[in-house]
Amino acid sequence: MINDAIGFFFSQFGLSTGQIEGLLATALGRGGDYADLYFEYRINNSVAFEERIIKTASRSVAQGVGVRVIAGDKTGYAYTEEIAIESIRQAAATASFIARTGGTTEPLGVNATANLHDLYKVETPVSAIDLSHKINLLKQADEVARAFDQRIREVQAGVHDEMKYVMIATSDGRLVGDVQPLVRMGMTCIADDDGNRQVGRGGGGGRVGIEFFEEAMTPEAMARAVAGQAIIQLEAVPAPAGTMEVVLGPGWPGILLHEAVGHGLESDFNRKGSSAFTGRLGERVASELCTVVDDGTIPGRRGSLNIDDEGQPTGRTVLIEKGVLCAYMSDHLNAELMGAAPTGNGRRQSYKHIPLPRMTNTFMMAGDSDPQAIIRSVKRGLYAVQFAGGQVDITNGEFAFSASEAYLIEDGKVTAPVRGATLRGNGPEALKRVTAVGNDLQLDSGVGMCGKEGQQIPVGVGLPTIKISEMTVGGTRA
Amino acid sequence: MRYELTKATAQRLAGEAVRRGASAAEVFMKRRKEFAVSVRLGDVEKVKEAIDQTLGLRVLIDGQQASVSCSDFSEDVVLQVLGEAIELARATSPDESAGLPEASEMASELPDLDLFDEEIERLPTEKKIDMALAAERAAQDYSERIINFDGGGLDTASSTIVLANSLGFAGEYQRTLISLAAVPVAADDQGRLQRDYWYDMRRRLDELAEPEAIGRMAAERTLRKLNGRSVPTQSVPVVFDPLMAASLLGHLFEGLSGEAIFRRSSFLVDQLGESIASPRLTVVDDGLKKGGLGSRPFDGEGLPTRRTVLIRDGILESYLLNSYTARKLGLRSTGNAARGLVGAPSVNAGNLTIEAGTHTPAEIIGAVTRGLYLTEMIGQGVNIVTGDYSRSAGGLWIENGELTFPVQGVTIAGNLKEMLRAVEMVGNDLNFRSQVVAPTLLIGRMTISA
């Protein structure tokens, strides 16, 4: 599929290698160390099913080229939505103003290369299949959710798919491309028991074809999980308030890592010295049981990419090894400035956005403990299995993530479900309190979205069952 | 041939959709010129400058509905997506609540809301950079403990918005925006870092706060966080500073939105006419405020915007509605339709405000014997269906009516239903640097967890 993207842009918009080299030269015309062009053509489709009908369907087509010039630690950026030489040249000229030192870097001739990875072997992307297939999935999900329990009153479900062609040309001579499919099916259920109203949410997907919803996550499985969550919440009691032992279930609770250490290990903050993890490479930041990895090379995952949005192959970066901090995640600019190797973590929301160091799939490696034994080891605590979202202040390390499905643990047994409570901790300290790591690593189902500096990108998280010896639970029952 | 961004184009395309089989159509076009500069340690860090544009088309075939958008205005692309919209609409189910507003309700006399400032258009790049650097410098000069910066800069945007539909409505307006922020980082004696920010955002250049004032406030807030510590788990009064009170108002908006109400996924369902909050609370949405960040002459469906009292002295008087949610609820649109690029219109606020009370912030803090002055929250943890509220928090501890040490590493929890009733004092300190604005509020009791 790789050179399909380069071929697509060249033929669709009448481009040539010579013209691309000319554009890079214009970008570096006033000076600077590096320039790149990011071509994007993107189709997004959506279909919404609610109140038992196909409420609405939509389709968006977007395209553009972003031109970036780097001079030292400064970035100039401009974009155009007209993929035509003259418009891109104007954008390149605008971006070039960041450099004031006079032309020094000559762009190398670009050579198209194939990608190292081929992570999305999708025969027929969901964006190309007939709407009726997607509608059938939603109808099935709706029926199962409503049949699950008569207290399920409202059911909303949707399929959102995307097809993105990208082509990236760099002043150090690279010309690469990628065709990136992405799909997500999501559902929300409202349960109503005589005025006691509760909500369940869920879904899944990835860089996969429609077969994903016949095997990995069927509409039935999604519907039972989401309706089930809403019904469980009907019985929920107030969550406890205070510090206690917390057991996190496998999969999506990996959001703990994304917030506690993930953002804090992005190299822009560390290069600038504003992260709680700045200058701490080689130090212990977690218990010995913790090995945390960011891996963009896992086939088919929502957070995976063949190449990052700067044209660098993605990689597997061990961030924390047996509790010791060993790496940051870098984009081109910060890797250069820190004298570090690139890690393939330069991502951007679209051609309108400047790349930043971002995560891909961030998870903890499996340990040796039996998950059931972990729960049995807790006298009084919380067992949290689903979360809404989270956030972090990377400077002081304070992070929070909000449980949407959690239970009390009493004398080693999972008992009553509790109403949503936020768990909080401090990044460099929280993982030092991980006292057990299960053997059941799971990655999330494929619904994660991460925001940073106004840029939303798809990501993945993962976790085995883990026990944290103490964590603040923000309940109402002190 | 490329289409121009004009009312005439939008009307023509709406007509073309009808010609091709739609019973009704609506066309939205937007062009935005954006500029953003971020600065760091006395120099420019990033500069971005571009123009973007989009066209969105919604078609209805009786009750069936679909929408498309594109950023390429060339004729063949636009007509291609228009055809796709008709096809997509035919694949959806008829929905009797879907449809354009009544022709008689469309906005006719469009008010001039003073949303466009020529001075922002004309502001030279060098001046923008100077302003951003001035804010940073003022923060730096405030204290030697300010050792770094992370983010901060100046943004401007200038947009043209066009909306037309097959009922004959066509409207256009322009607006400008300028915002300036400083994000200092400070270190305590042990080298532990804290970061905070301050900003201002307006539609007119002459209303923007002085860069130096923004920088000084950012530095003050950052220094205020140094040496923060937690407090034991307890239930106490919490004073929400204006930004925190605005975030609460934002959650109230989600609960009052017609979208949540018709789906019965709000804690405010079935409560029109009921007392849902303290009698000290009056909440108003105003789409017509001159120069307001949330103002516009017509909503996302072309209906006139207006001023709506949502909560009056604690009584729920109105939800915020668009045509669809109004039909679902047997009510009338409040002129709060939001138009995204694609999708059916949703609901947004205009200028949403908790009306000022009579107390100064100092009086409110002075009234608390022991409690938390809340200045920062992170995390989600707000369930609009149930009202459950649980967020990580930071601020200053109040002891005998005085602000004392900084607090960090705690959560606050409660339920929005109770929190609204427990508003005991409302401040007089409204500042319209956002679309959602509130004064300082005292909430009688919340659970702090550590």
Q: A208 and A258 share a domain?
A: no
Provide, as residue numbers in chain A, all residues whose Cβ is less than 8 Å from the Cβ of B49.
77-78, 94
A280 and A390 housed in the same domain: yes
Per the CB < 8 A criterion, the answer to whether B386 and B415 are in contact is yes
Chain A / chain B CB contacts < 8 angstroms: 258
CATH code given to domain B118-159+174-224 = 3.30.2290.10
**Are B379 and A58 in contact (CB < 8 Å)?**
no
* Contact state of A198 with B385 under an 8 Å Cβ cutoff: yes
Among chain A residues, CA nearest to B447: A476
Q: A422 and B390 in contact by Cβ < 8 A?
A: yes
Residue B278 pLDDT greater than 80, yes or no: yes
Residue A200 scores a pLDDT above 50:
yes
Instruction: Check whether residue A259 and residue A198 sit in a common domain.
Output: no
Cβ pair A54:B380 closer than 8 A: no
Q: How far is B112 from chain A (nearest CA, A)?
A: 30
Give yes or no: residues A70 and A194 share one domain: yes
Q: Which residues contact A169 (CB under 8 A, 6 or more apart)?
A: A20, A23, A24, A36, A37, A39, A110, A175, A311
Of the residues B34, B79, B265, B271, the best mutation for testing chain A's interface (the one with the most A CB atoms within 10 Å of its CB) is: B265
The amino acid occupying position A430 is: A
pLDDT of residue A1: 43
- Could you give the number of structural domains in chain A? 2
Q: Can B7-105 and B118-159+174-224 be said to share one CATH topology? A: yes
Q: What mean pLDDT is reported for chain A?
A: 96
Cβ of A243 within 8 Å of Cβ of B450? The answer is yes
> Same domain for A403 and A422?
yes
Whether A196 and A246 share a structural domain: no
Calculate mean pLDDT across residues A292-307: 98
Would you state the pLDDT for residue B208?
Answer: 98
A106 band by pLDDT with thresholds 50, 70 and 90 = confident
Tell whether A226 and A268 lie within a shared domain.
no
- Count Cα neighbours of B198 within 13 Å in the Cβ-side half-sphere: 23
| Residues A220, A75 share a domain | yes
> Are A41 and A72 in a shared domain?
yes
Stated pTM of the model: 0.96
> A38 vs chain B: nearest CA distance in angstroms?
14
Residue A87 pLDDT greater than 90, yes or no: yes
Please report the pLDDT score of residue A3 as a whole number.
Answer: 65
Which residue range forms the structural domain that includes residue A449?
A: 241-474
Confidence of residue A105 (pLDDT cuts 50, 70, 90): confident
Residues A14, A121 within the same domain: yes
Binary contact (A74, B52; C-beta < 8 A): no
Give the CATH H-level superfamily of domain B7-105: PmbA/TldD superfamily (3.30.2290.10)
pLDDT tens figures, A261-297:
999 999 999 999 999 999 999 999 999 999 999 999 9
Boundary (domain end) residue, out of A234, A257, A281? A234
**Would you kindly state where each structural domain of chain B is located, as residue ranges?**
7-105, 118-159+174-224, 228-450
Give the closest of A81, A131, A132 to B52, CB-based.
A81
The per-residue pLDDT for range B199-229, each reduced to its tens digit, is 999 999 999 999 999 999 999 999 999 999 9
Residue A2 has pLDDT above 50, yes or no: no
Overall average pLDDT of the B51-75 stretch:
96
For residue B24, pLDDT over 50 is answered with yes
Same domain for A162 and A33: yes
pLDDT at residue A101 in the model: 63
B chain contacts of residue A53, beta-carbon cutoff 8 Å: 92-95
- Picking from A234, A250, A267, the residue at the C-terminal end of a domain is A234
**pLDDT tier at B289, thresholds 50, 70, 90:** very high
Q: How does residue A123 score in pLDDT terms, banded at 50, 70 and 90? A: confident
The overall average pLDDT reported for chain B is: 97
Of A95-104, B156-165, B339-348, B413-422, give the lowest mean pLDDT range.
A95-104
**Across residues A19-45, what is the average pLDDT?**
96
Mutate to test the interface with A, among B388, B412, B418, B448 (most CBs of A within 10 A): B388
Q: Which residues of A touch B72 (CB under 8 A)?
A: 61, 63, 81-82
Q: Is the same domain home to A93 and A194?
A: yes
Rounded to whole angstroms, the Cα distance separating B157 from A471 reads 43
B412-447 pLDDT, tens digit each: 999 999 999 999 999 999 999 999 999 999 999 999
pLDDT of A103 higher than 80: no
Using the beta-carbon criterion (under 8 Å), do B447 and A156 form an inter-chain contact?
no
pLDDT of A102 > 70? The answer is no
